[in-house]
Homo-oligomer: A and B are copies of this chain.
């Protein structure tokens, strides 16, 4: 049985989120419609053609960390674009909390943010110079902290990185890190 246009467009959108490199041809085959119909669907949904989607992904690309060994980053890096932005995740486990009240110890959130701020910089030798940080709300055992880094300023030997750490939609930590890069390694 053919899907209604509305149902098909909904499924098409979900499919492309799961498999962004599906061709129009393959989608046409899966939904039992013409390629032209898929193109119209994409246009209505505002989804670019395959080449555009690849380009978009490439821009989002996952760069390699230069400034430290990947295993030295505290948390799991899920996105990294050098000198631009990065994302890492850290789940708060037993070893991260105060024994007494089960709240994450500040230095673990700091370590996640600081190491992401260093990782995002495109240089071999990167050290933190200053940081201004705010613990917005306590983080508890089992919560997943997602740190998002954005490079906000680059000068000859310094990079400023803003970090916001979220648990779900809530900001739990904020920081501005000023890191310096060793010139010899630029």
Instruction: Tell me, in angstroms, the Cα distance from A132 to B131 when the chains sit together.
Output: 6
Number of A interface residues in the complex (CB < 8 A): 28
Instruction: Tell me, in angstroms, the Cα distance from A124 to B99 when the chains sit together.
Output: 12
By DSSP majority rule, is chain A's interface helix, strand, loop, or mixed? mixed
Residues of chain B with a CB closer than 8 A to A106's CB: 114, 127-128, 131
- Docked-complex contact A74 and B127, CB < 8 angstroms: no
Residues of chain B with a CB closer than 8 A to A129's CB: 134-135
A contacts, CB < 8 Å to B: 68-69, 72, 74, 98-101, 103, 105-107, 110-111, 114-115, 124-125, 127-135, 138
Shortest Cβ-Cβ A-B pairs, 7 listed: A107-B111, A106-B128, A130-B134, A132-B132, A131-B133, A110-B110, A106-B114
